Structure 1
Amino acid sequence: MAKPPDYGIIYNWDGAPHAYDAVPQTMDAFLERVYAPLEDTQVGALFWCVGEHHARWESALLEQLGDVHGHRYEDVYQYLIGENIRAMSERGEDPHAGIIERGRELGIAVYASVRMNDNHFGGKQPDELADAHDSELTRMRVEHPEWTLGDQTTAWYAASWDMSKPEVRAHRFAHVKEVCERYDWDGVELDWQRHAFHLPEDDAYRLRYTLTDLQRAIRQMTEAIGQQRGRPFYIAARVAGSLEMCRRIGYDVAAWIDEGLVDMLIPAGNAGTDPACEVAELKAMCVGTDVVVYPGFDSGVPGMTDGPEAGPMKLAMRNRGIASRHWWSGADAVYVFNWHGKRETHRELLNQIGSAETLQGTDKIFAATHRHLLSAGEWLGAYRRDRILGEAPGALKPTLSGDGPTATIEVGDDTAENRPSEVELRVRLSQWVKGDVVAVEWDGQRLSEGRSAHCKVADPYDISGVTSAVWLCFDLPAARVGQGRHEVKVILVERHPRMGVDLVLTDVELVVRY
């Protein structure tokens, strides 16, 4: 099969535009909602979520959204989606056909995005499904709780399908097959990361062949479609950001590449952006093949502390830094997920991150990766799949040899080619008081004493003269911040004797301004 086109940016829409207008939504209004954020940007492909568990078209195989509860909805959002789709169907209109036609007019490729094991059931357990009022439920899941993971995974995802069950794989294959054969897509995305809980936790690596079985069956089916149409029908697969987590979840990425079961690999987080996606490692595995690598973004970067910049500005700078790092690592293009918006919401970024050239001269933040975990509440366990080698946050402990934690900063910008006007290294310390002494090293060289500034996250109205967290800031000569990997070491020299809690390193950031 031919190598996939260079899309610059792939934009994944989760179907939310169905809920952006009152019932009945017109087709014109719907298509305007879908494409307004994409037009006149670097987006070359739309990956459209065709629905999680139901058909959003007339199907003899799959249930319709809301069927299980007689089209009585648990909230306004589900009502708007379900009834706007039903209204289109009753008018003889098909939103998927409309999306594909409009994409052709705009020169944007359109793929079906299929969530392979989506779980938005709010942590419900298999034995609770029969009494639950949830529009995402299907009769099959209610009637066959034994086909779910149950207590063989983290509790929040207990109602996810167990992909080792042949009945489940047959059902998922039939869903993907109907989607692919019914419409004139450019390809299909198998979104394995929504959500990344497919196999019994302790056996996932040994059962990885079952996921490969489904991936292989889908490839055989799409190849037949491509032959019938006389043009390629591509397969994209969204997988974990690290090869280690791919193995733990059950994604045999090496086999998928070697057997030609995938055309595009999208390393990405299960929950939030994974800024440390192993792009270079995946690219090395793809040498000698036509498989391309599109590292993914999500709506936010978990664990990133707000400030000193305003939240939206900081997130934009962080995203530009991540994109620059991905391009330096060898990415073929990039992918964005959950970037909901109107025409102007993300327009600046969508005209920057699609190439290394358009990122040049833009302000960025390159930062250490956070290991972000939840101990209670919603989505418990979701973040354990991501950023497994996160280097922050971490306690600064006294050591016998004067050592401390080391964080890696990967700078994607060629600062020799395009010299920044300002480079600032900053580290954030929580539970800091006057009298604490730390030393900071950049690439093995100790920095002179930096400036300190109180972090105002917990004091947004600037009432207090002190806070429990502080930023230590150091100006660096641009010549010391070349493209590539750098190490920042933070050493606890002296802890205030009255403090009985650890001093915690929460953030390590390199701010590059032009």
Structure 2
Amino acid sequence: MKRARSIYFNDARHYYLFVHEPPMRLEDAWGPVDEVASTGVDTFVYGVSRDDGLFYPSRVGKRFGEGEDLIQAAYWRVWHNMQSLIDGGLDPLTVLIDRAHEKGMEFIASQRMGAFPGAGEKAAQRDGGPGMTDEAVRDHQFAVLRELALDYPTEGIELDFAAAPGGTDWWVPEDELQQQAPMMTDFMRRVRAMSKERAGSPAVIGARVYPTRELNQAAGLDVDTWIEEGLVDYLVPLVYVYMTLDANMPIDWLVTATAETDISVYAFLHCHYTEENRHRANRTYATPAMYRAAAANAWRMGVDGLYSWFMRWPLGSEQRSVLMELSDREQLERRDRHYFLRREVEDTGDHDYPAQLPLAFDPASDVGVTKKITFSIADDTANEPSATQVTLRLALTDLVAADRIDLSLNGQSLAGAPLQRSPMREIDPYAGQWVEIDLVGHPPACGHNVLEVTLRERPADLKSSLVLEDVEIIVEYDTYASTPLGGV
């Protein structure tokens, strides 16, 4: 049966074992759970592994730091924080599981599928090893998953495929990914059968996969067969490396594929608005309005729940408030929303889905050429009186006042719509401009929208391309509608 969930993930490291000074107090050991308790989060997912170790005292795998030099302070803290709990008669993983249950949350352990700590020095493909093409490595990975599902009082396990290649290694040699798809499907069948060995209800089996069918097929993940055979209980689509929130992630195929099944799809909400992967940009966190926009689009698409992680830490009142809104879709209604389109990221290479931005207009070839940007929003601004302000924001590099640009939204010209300009960045205000266009008289559609941009004229002696860097829609709500007074 499909299950609605509000999920928060902690990776064991960055805001937990890396930061607390040993010996670890019980209050600190509870921290990852307590910081999201009473927010509506009902499922806590804990990342138990990295390529070089497990973050719990496994009986079948290698614990992080075991037999290794502790080469930095963070690694030293990890080892001694876990050891201090163990010396006190506590299992660090059980401490978290029990705390989650005390706080009314289910606990799911997440294992990176390209990480095999304890399987041998040459197990991973980056070390020249065979990965899971070797039966011994498969058995090792299965033993870790079995331990987490059956030997610990978790509700289940999550198989994290999507961490590759940015966060971990591939589970088989990269040039064999597609060839090994049948083997991986057989492995999933084995995991599903194991989940049913638990007394009472079977262990939950989740999987992090990629956002598009094509990316999964390229990685040798036959997700369609997994769905057809019921090999998982839930799927979470994402791309890992840069963590920019995407309110238009193309996961509708997955929602459709699971519609007549008991398999749930949870939309993944990344945590950032901007990152260091663009010129002169710093990492900035998504605002509450941005989370609302992404969540509203996901709910409108038909997902079964939302999955978030890595919010600004320590989590404060703003982050906890966002989690409360994400856990109750009705709280998202008639609240400000900020939609923005993701940009292409070179570092993800071929293991990413297409982005529409940046969009360049070369004056030598693109004058008079109309280019389209598509996006979806979940607001019916045309029929909602409390949607008092709707703004289209465009960031353009090398825009000058002499440029002539035609804009239309869903076939309706935006010529004459009120607009304001401002510098695109403070540090180099000459480099580009934000253009903010009032759309109250030209409301976007609830659902699919098409923005058409045509460069009509550019100064003949200005040879640089005009580049559309960002496209955003901001919807603001107010109790007091901005309808005209009678007779005015």
Aligned residue runs from structure 1 range 451-466, under 5 A: 451-457=419-425, 459-460=426-427, 466=429
Q: Which amino acid aligns with 1:349?
A: V
Structure 1, unpaired ranges of 5+: 119-136, 151-157, 375-381
What CA distance in whole angstroms lies between the structure 1 residues aligned with 2:263 and 2:358?
A: 35
Q: Which amino acid aligns with 1:469?
A: G
Aligned-partner SS, 2:395: strand
- Kindly tell me: are residues 163 and 497 of structure 1, through their superposed partners in 2, closer, same or farther at Cα, counting changes over 3 Å? farther
Conserved? CA contact 2:247–2:293, under 8 Å = no
Could you tell me the percent identity over the aligned residues?
25
Shift of residue 486, structure 1, vs aligned partner: 0.4
Conserved? CA contact 1:324–1:353, under 8 Å = no
What CA distance in whole angstroms lies between the structure 2 residues aligned with 1:401 and 1:431?
A: 15
Aligned residue runs from structure 1 range 57-456, under 5 A: 57-69=56-68, 72-118=69-115, 138=117, 140=119, 143-144=121-122, 147-150=123-126, 162-196=131-165, 197-225=170-198, 228=199, 230-271=200-241, 272=243, 273-301=245-273, 315-339=287-311, 341-344=313-316, 346-374=319-347, 382=348, 384-386=350-352, 388-397=353-362, 402-415=368-381, 416-417=383-384, 419-449=386-416, 451-456=419-424
Conserved? CA contact 2:9–2:45, under 8 Å = yes
2:450 matched to 1:487?
A: yes
Name 1:125's counterpart in structure 2. Answer: none
Structure 1's consecutive aligned runs of 4 or more residues displaced over 6 angstroms after TM superposition are 158-161, 303-306
Name 2:29's counterpart in structure 1. Answer: 30
What CA distance in whole angstroms lies between the structure 2 residues aligned with 1:400 and 1:19?
A: 51
Q: Which amino acid aligns with 2:373?
A: A
TM-score, reference length from structure 1: 0.83
Report Cα offsets for 1:459-511 as digits up to 9, x if no partner.
Answer: 34xxx7x5211112211127722310101111111122222221111111111
What CA distance in whole angstroms lies between the structure 2 residues aligned with 1:453 and 1:21?
A: 46
TM-score, reference length from structure 2: 0.87
| Root-mean-square deviation over aligned CA pairs | 2.7
Q: Which amino acid aligns with 2:77?
A: L
Conserved? CA contact 1:241–1:276, under 8 Å = no
Range with greater deviation from structure 2 (410-419 or 492-501): 410-419
Report Cα offsets for 1:105-139 as digits up to 9, x if no partner.
Answer: 21111111112125xxxxxxxxxxxxxxxxxx956
What CA distance in whole angstroms lies between the structure 2 residues aligned with 1:161 and 1:448?
A: 60
User: Which has the larger strand fraction?
Assistant: 2
What CA distance in whole angstroms lies between the structure 2 residues aligned with 1:301 and 1:391?
A: 16
- Kindly tell me: are residues 469 and 190 of structure 1, through their superposed partners in 2, closer, same or farther at Cα, counting changes over 3 Å? same
Report Cα offsets for 1:322-360 as digits up to 9, x if no partner.
Answer: 111111100111001223533415112111122331111
Structure 2, unpaired ranges of 5+: 478-488
Aligned-partner SS, 1:175: helix
Report Cα offsets for 1:165-224 as digits up to 9, x if no partner.
Answer: 333322211211122222111111111112243344444233222222222211111111
Conserved? CA contact 1:321–1:364, under 8 Å = yes
- Kindly tell me: are residues 481 and 60 of structure 1, through their superposed partners in 2, closer, same or farther at Cα, counting changes over 3 Å? closer
Identify the match of residue 49 of structure 2 among 48, 51, 57. Answer: 51
Name 1:123's counterpart in structure 2. Answer: none
- Kindly tell me: are residues 159 and 29 of structure 1, through their superposed partners in 2, closer, same or farther at Cα, counting changes over 3 Å? farther
Q: Which amino acid aligns with 1:244?
A: E
Q: May I ask how many residue pairs the two structures share in their alignment? A: 461
- Kindly tell me: are residues 409 and 400 of structure 1, through their superposed partners in 2, closer, same or farther at Cα, counting changes over 3 Å? closer
What CA distance in whole angstroms lies between the structure 2 residues aligned with 1:268 and 1:62?
A: 27
What CA distance in whole angstroms lies between the structure 2 residues aligned with 1:176 and 1:195?
A: 18
Aligned-partner SS, 1:224: coil
What CA distance in whole angstroms lies between the structure 1 residues aligned with 2:340 and 2:64?
A: 42
